[in-house]
Amino acid sequence: MIRVQREDFDIGIELSALTRGKTGIGGVASFVGLMRDVADGTPIHAMTLEHYPGMTERELQRIELEAQQRWPLLASLIVHRYGRLEPGDRIVLVATASAHRAAAFESCEFLMDYLKTKAPFWKQEETPDGPRWVAAAATDDLAASRWRKD
Partner 1 sequence: MKLLYFAHLRAKIGIAEEQLDPPPGVGDVSALIEWLKRRNTRFAEALREPRALRVAVNQTYVGWHHPLKPGDEVAIFPPVTGG
Among 92, 97, 103, 104, binds partner 1 (CB under 8 A): 92
Q: Which of residues 30-49 bind partner 1 (CB under 8 A)?
A: 33, 49
Q: Does 118 bind partner 1 (CB under 8 A)?
A: yes
**Residues binding partner 1: number (CB under 8 A):** 28
Q: Does 18 bind partner 1 (CB under 8 A)?
A: no
Render 22-85 in DSSP notation, one character per residue.
-TT--EEEEEEEE--SEETTEE--EEEEEE-TTHHHHHHHHHHHHHHHHS-EEEEEEEEE-EEE
Gap between the Cα atoms of 34 and 139, Å rounded: 18
Backbone torsions φ then ψ of 55, nearest 5 degrees: -70, -35
**Residue 55 binds which of partner 1, its own copies, none (CB < 5-8 A, kind-dependent):** partner 1
Gap between the Cα atoms of 32 and 38, Å rounded: 18
Which of 5/122 has CB closer to partner 1?
Answer: 122
Q: Does 10 bind partner 1 (CB under 8 A)?
A: no
Residues binding its own copies (CB under 8 A): 10-15, 19-38, 87-88, 99, 101-102, 104-105, 108-109, 112, 143
